[in-house]
Amino acid sequence: MEVISTVVGYPYIGEQRQWKKIVESFWKGDLSEVQFHQQMKELRLHNLKRQQELGIDYITVGDFTLYDRMLDLAFMFGIIPERYQSLNNETALTRYYAMARGAKNVVACEMTKWFNTNYHYIVPEFDGKQLKLKENILLEYFLEAKNELNIIAKPTLIGPYTFMDLSKGYDDQTKAIFILQLLPLYAEVIQQLVDAGAEWIQLEEPSLTKSLPDDEVRLVEQIYSKLAESVPSAKIMLQTYFEALTSYERLSNLPVAGIGLDFVHGKKENKEAIRKHGFPNNKVLAIGCINGRDIWSSNLAEVVSEIESVVYLSKAQSVWIESSCSLQHVPITTRNEQKLEPVLLNALSFADEKISEIVHVTHYIKHGKWIKEKAVSESMEIIEALATHPIRNNKRVQEIMQSITANDFSRALPYDQRRLIQQQVLGLPLFPTTTIGSFPQSSEVKKTRAAWRKKQISDTEYEAFIEKETARWIKLQEEIGLDIFVHGEFERTDMVEFFGEKLTGFAFTQNAWVVSYGSRCVKPPIIYGDVEWTSPMTLKEVLFAQKLTDAHVKGMLTGPVTILNWSFVRNDVPREVVANQIAIALRQEILELERSGIAIIQVDEPALREGLPLRKENWSDYLTWAVNAFKLATSSVKNETQIHTHMCYVEFNDFIEPIESLDADVISLETSRSHGELIYSLQQHPYELGIGLGVYDIHSPRVPDVSEMMEILNASLQVIPKERFWINPDCGLKTRQEPETVAALTNMVKAAKLLRHEVLSNNVN
């Protein structure tokens, strides 16, 4: 049997985030194009050399990008919307970045989440124009590796089906035209690579892990047979990931030389399919067995036995051993972490460490023995050490978890009765106005925090500053005339990090960056132990604010599911368990707030939708435990206490029911970007609890006037009864400037008053 080690892709950003620095310096004008390309080339070669040193057999090119790989293909194929053609004095590179980020008077292309990851890609916009291959960057990358480092690499590109599936600008009629135009371009790119000496071409087709209707499966078959006809000499590895290959029986028989399957996320189903239908005997099987989505060391012996069972089932004569998906979703190396406790650090595996794992298991599969016997026993000891770490065996947490009963998941009274009680005790006007939580993080706020982090100012000085800012904004809210106040979140930078730093079970890295979109990188916290509340997290700031005013100040927390979905999570227990532990911790905080007299508490869940599985048939499992976690956190309060939640930038159409099942007294939703759509959905499926549809977009400094807001309010009132109707902006205001914030909120309050007046006088008439 032939055995080869490889990865689907390697992170491009460099271990010191060099990539981000190069890109941003170019944007700022600090680098010329020549310098920019030179530095990018150095980084690419550095990444290739690193993989070479780690001993991987087959190195990939084309996993690198100057912004985003979907955009790369769109650009190569000339899918450049008209509005960018007209830009003056643009070079190809600045036009490329204009598509990504917008330019003066030209809006950027849409950006959206890459499957169920936190990476966002640029959505290509097909506009019916004739496509043409403008350049073949894959060929450039291939030749660069060959000429500079003598590497015959495996070029990878997003496959034609997935590319089409994720693009927009076509309908059922024009889809065929789009594909017919696309395929010759793919063929051209592939043929040039073959001519230049590429042995294999990897086509990434994650869209083939969604459940596809029959006619789509047929379309995939047509695409690939056409491609096979046009480039008969190319060896194509059809690479899937994130889930099992759909319609396995048919799609595993596509005319390609190899099939790559995810044996981490789609393990059960992929194995079942192979068992049932066999694996085509002339194809290479790429076994994605090292998790490309988590940061944990693998148990090498277990991985080997998994590979052996797949080999046995498939009877494959030739296999690749690889990551389950591109390693771009994990940080680069654990070597640069100096502050983590050793038990945790040893158990971590980022991209480089994962490559070593691949090399190790490949060696074993090839030779029947380990490179270093000791490495394997060590890998098990490491996993064992973390498993027995006190932080994973917190008796107090486990006892509370065991004592949970069905009652903990529901409020004492149903919403309709709570609403009446709350109305009496809170004394709110019709159409109460409020904000989402954060107020502008001015440069002064940022500077002061930076100084405090660097220990240039003391804790007392920093806290005094936060209090001064909070007090100033309480006064501003009074002047504006809002009904429910917030303290402003000046003490927080990040809504997950803030809580992670105060709860047990979390760890924070120094350099574990992953790209979220473009040059924006995030450093997700690591949840590695039992999560426990030890002391109040938000009480001080909220109570400080509450003492300054007679208005209600909302308590402000990040929800359990959002904390979970925006972290790297331990893999020794189901996610549901971790979500419930966080929920219990938040419940304690909520009860603390309630005891201290806070009557309204908001628990934000902007990432609830993000955790949805790719396959719709798995949605309900996830939603059941995710919704339960929220309810566990929020249900133990008195009937009088009003629970709010907030969500933004999610598609709500098929999501109203889950939101409703959270049983939050009030939800504030971002809507200005898709107001019409949401109103339509609410017409189809009326929402039964308190709800505020954002009346203005917080992403722009523009201040909408009262009449504009009135229009939105009147439209919303068509689908929401007035006694459950709230008024708020789309989202938190931390990225805005103060003057525009005050102006917009002032208009919002004016609009609310006008609406009250209109509605009340109508009632009298």
633 binds, among ligand GLN, Zn ion, none (CB under 5 to 8 A by kind): none
Scanning 28-36, 450-458, 564-572, 727-735 for contacts with ligand GLN by CB under 6 A, the matching segment is: 727-735
Which 8-state DSSP code applies to residue 116?
T
| Pair 179, 223: CB distance under 8 Å | yes
For ligand GLN, which residue of 659, 732, 747, 748 counts as binding (CB under 6 A)?
A: 732
Span interacting with ligand GLN, options 209-217, 436-444, 530-538, 659-667, rule CB under 6 A: 436-444
- Residue 698 in contact with ligand GLN, rule: CB under 6 A: no
**Beta carbon of residue 558, minimum distance to ligand GLN (angstroms, whole number):** 8
CA distance 684 to 455: 55
Class of residue 390 by CB neighbours under 10 A (exposed 0-12, middle 13-18, buried 19+):
exposed
* Closest CB to Zn ion among residues 156, 435: 435
| Per-position DSSP letters for 304-330, written without gaps between them | HHHHHHHHHHH--SEEEEEESS-GGGS
In the complex with ligand GLN, the residue whose CB is nearer, 144 or 604, is 604
By the 10 Å C-beta count (0-12 exposed, 13-18 middle, 19+ buried), 372 is classed as exposed
What, of ligand GLN, Zn ion, none, does residue 491 touch, CB below 5 to 8 Å by kind? none
Which range of residues in 37-45, 60-68, 252-260, 730-738 is near ligand GLN by CB under 6 A?
730-738
Closest by alpha carbon to 265, among 220, 227, 209? 209
Stretch that binds ligand GLN, among 228-236, 388-396, 434-442, 564-572 (CB under 6 A): 434-442
Choice between 438 and 538, CB closer to ligand GLN: 438
Q: Which two tokens stand for residue 258?
A: 């190899």
Nearer to ligand GLN, 563 or 731 (CB): 731
CB 438, min distance to ligand GLN, A: 3
CB of 495 to ligand GLN, least distance (A): 6
Residue of 363, 646, 675, 736 that binds ligand GLN (CB under 6 A): 646
CB 234 within 8 A of CB 224: no
Looking at 487, 646, 699, 757, which residue is catalytic? 699
Buried b or exposed e, range 173-208, using 16+ CB within 10 angstroms: eeeeebbebbbebbbbbbbbbbeeebebbbbbbbbb
Q: Does 438 bind ligand GLN (CB under 6 A)?
A: yes
For residue 492, the minimal CB distance to ligand GLN (Å) is 8
* Of residues 286 and 678, the one with the C-beta less far from Zn ion: 678
If one asks whether residue 65 binds ligand GLN (CB under 6 A), the answer comes out as: no
First to last CA, the chain: 86
Residue with the CB atom nearest ligand GLN in the bound state: 732
Distance CA 179, CA 161 (A): 8
What's the min distance (Å) between Cβ of 607 and Zn ion? 10
Considering the complex, state which of residue 237 and residue 733 has its C-beta at the smaller distance from Zn ion: 733
Residue span 578-607 as binding mask against ligand GLN, x where in contact by CB under 6 A, dash where not: --------------------------x-x-
14 touches, from ligand GLN, Zn ion, none (C-beta below 5 to 8 Å by class): none
With contact defined as beta carbons under 8 Å apart, do 504 and 582 qualify?
Answer: no
699 is catalytic: yes
Q: What is the contact mask toward ligand GLN in residues 492 to 511, using x (rule: CB under 6 A)?
A: ---x----------------
Which among Zn ion, ligand GLN, none contacts residue 437 (Cβ within 5 to 8 A by kind)? Answer: ligand GLN
Q: Is 266 left (phi over 0), alpha (psi -120 to 50) or beta?
A: alpha
The count of residues in the chain is 765
* Interface with ligand GLN (CB under 6 A), residue from 23, 284, 436, 695: 436
H helix intervals, 90-230 = 92-101, 137-149, 160-166, 175-195, 214-230
From the list Zn ion, ligand GLN, none, which binds 614 (C-beta under 5 to 8 Å, kind-based)? Answer: none
Residues 6+ apart with CB under 8 A from 670: 647, 648, 649, 694, 730, 731
Rounded to the nearest whole angstrom, what is the least distance from the CB of residue 325 to ligand GLN in the complex? 26
Name which of 303 and 495 has its Cβ closer to ligand GLN. Answer: 495
Q: Between β-strands 120-122 and 111-113, what pairing exists: parallel, antiparallel or unpaired?
A: antiparallel
Q: Which does 598 bind (CB under 5 to 8 A by kind): Zn ion, ligand GLN, none?
A: none
Q: Which is nearer to Zn ion, 320 or 696 (CB)?
A: 696
Candidate residues 288, 437, 505, 529; the one interacting with ligand GLN per rule CB under 6 A? 437
Residues 132 and 181: their CA atoms lie apart, in Å, by 8
Please answer whether residues 206 and 241 qualify as being in contact, where contact means their C-beta atoms are separated by less than 8 angstroms. Answer: yes
Residue 436: CB minimum distance to ligand GLN, A:
4
d(CA 532, CA 562): 17
Q: What is the per-residue DSSP string for 43-111? A: HHHHHHHHHHHHT-SB-EES---SS-HHHHHHHHTT---HHHHT-TT--HHHHHHHHHH-BTTBPPPPE
433 DSSP β-pair partners: 727
Q: Is 648 in the site for ligand GLN (CB under 6 A)?
A: yes
Least distance (Å) from ligand GLN to the CB of residue 670?
Answer: 8
Sheet of strand 600-604, all strands in order from the earlier edge strand to the far edge: 555-558, 600-604, 642-647, 666-669, 690-693, 725-726
Q: How far is the CB of 732 from Zn ion (least distance, A)?
A: 6
CB count within 10 Å of CB 113 equals: 15
Residue 438 interacts, among ligand GLN, Zn ion, none and using kind-specific CB cut-offs from 5 to 8 Å, with ligand GLN
Residues that bind Zn ion (CB under 5 A): 606, 648, 731
Tokens 């227990």 locate to 573
Is residue 190 close enough to count as binding ligand GLN by CB under 6 A?
Answer: no
Q: CB of residue 591 vs ligand GLN: minimum separation in angstroms?
A: 20
Q: Find the binder of ligand GLN among 480, 731, 742, 751 (CB under 6 A).
A: 731
DSSP string, 625-682: HHHHHHHHHHTTS-TTSEEEEEE-SS--TTTHHHHHHT--SEEEE--GGGHHHHHHHH
Cα of 721 vs its chain's centroid, Å: 34
Least separation, in Å, of the C-beta of 556 and ligand GLN? 6
* Residue number, 704 or 732, with CB nearest to ligand GLN: 732
Bridge partner residues of 555 (DSSP):
601
Q: Are 166 and 71 in contact (CB under 8 A)?
A: no
Q: Say which entry of Zn ion, ligand GLN, none residue 295 contacts (CB below 5 to 8 A, set by partner kind).
A: none
Nearer to ligand GLN, 41 or 502 (CB): 502
Residues annotated as catalytic are 699
Binding site for ligand GLN (CB under 6 A): 436-438, 489, 495, 556, 604, 606, 646, 648, 731-732, 734
